[in-house]
């Protein structure tokens, strides 16, 4: 007996062919988005009463946000660099406050040690 598939011309998981079996697809609208690097992206959205078209769409090429206006694309998101614990402390305290706290902590340590 020769090995082979009993179902020829099809693959596992294949569904019905054509719109007759699936039903009609929803009407679609293509919207063009422009990112700050000049990329153009045109996804299509289903049209409906409760469906809204987003104002911004992430560019699949560079990841920046894309807008509907080609002349004024959205500004790239500014990522703040990683801050150390010391940088956060320096934002909250002045240099003189830091020195006062350090002196206080050193005095407490000297009292404990005798």
Q: Residue 45: which of 18, 23, 68 has the closest Cα?
A: 68
Instruction: Note the pLDDT of residue 26.
Output: 81
Mean pLDDT score of the chain: 84
- pLDDT number for residue 17: 61
Q: Where are the domains of the chain?
A: 26-67, 80-114
- Integer Cα distance of 12 and 18 in angstroms: 17
User: How far is it, in rounded angstroms, from Cα 96 to Cα 82?
Assistant: 25
| Higher pLDDT among residues 5 and 72, named by residue | 72
Q: Does the reported pTM lie above 0.85?
A: no
| Whole-number percent of the chain with pLDDT over 90 | 47
pLDDT at 15: 63
- What pLDDT is attached to residue 3? 61
pLDDT score, position 42: 95
Within 10 angstroms of residue 33's Cβ, the number of other Cβ atoms is 23
Question: Where does 26-67 sit in CATH, by number?
Answer: 2.20.28.270
């Amino acid at each position: 007996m020769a090995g082979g598939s009993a179902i020829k011309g099809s693959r596992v998981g294949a569904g019905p062919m054509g719109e007759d079996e699936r039903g009609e697809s929803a009407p679609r609208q293509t919207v063009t988005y422009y990112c700050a690097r000049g990329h153009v992206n045109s996804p299509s959205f289903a049209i409906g009463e409760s469906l809204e078209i987003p104002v911004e769409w992430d560019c699949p090429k560079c990841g920046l946000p894309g807008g509907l206006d080609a002349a004024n694309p959205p500004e790239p998101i500014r990522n703040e660099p990683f801050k150390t614990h010391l940088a956060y402390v320096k934002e909250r305290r002045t240099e003189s406050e830091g020195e006062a706290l350090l002196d206080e902590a050193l005095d407490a340590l000297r009292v404990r040690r005798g």
